[in-house]
Structures are given as structure tokens and as C-alpha cells.
Amino acid sequence: MNRIKEVLEEKGIKQTWLAEQLGKSYNMVNGYVQNRQQPRLEVLYAIARILDAEVKELLIAQKDKK
């Protein structure tokens, strides 16, 4: 599980912009945001760099899941 959606909302960034920055399709990024698909580790690091966030900010600890 990830917090990409929450971080995007906090920073006021659109999924389409993130998709452009990553060189990925909107559908791929939307899959990450909706937690239907998890990004590979190198993509997760790229997302963190683009969003100026720590990788750990983008992750949800297993014990925090509801």
C-alpha cells in the first residue's frame, strides 16, 4: 500500500503532471494512486524525487493498514 494519492493532494499536484514527469501513462500512475498496482522500487524512488518527498512518506506501514 502507498500514500501517493495523499502526497499528491497535499502538494496540489495532478496525476497527469506526475505521469509526464515519470514518462509513464496516466493509467499507470492512476493504478499507483488507487493502489491497484504498486510501483517498482526504482519508480517509487523517482516519484519521491519528483515530489520532493522521502520514500518512507509514500509508504504505509503494514500495521497502519485498516
Over the Cα atoms of the chain, what is R_g? 11
Quote the pLDDT of residue 24.
97
Helix residue spans in the chain (DSSP H): 4-11, 15-22, 26-33, 41-50
Say how far residue 39 (Cα) sits from the centre of its chain: 8
Between the alpha carbon of residue 37 and those of residues 30, 32, 33, the distances in Å are 9, 5, 8
60 pLDDT band (50/70/90 cuts)? confident
> What are 8-34's pLDDT values in tens digits?
999 999 999 999 999 999 999 999 999
Other CB atoms within 10 A of residue 14 CB:
11
Across 47-64, average pLDDT: 86
* 65 pLDDT higher than 60: no
Class of domain 4-58: mainly alpha
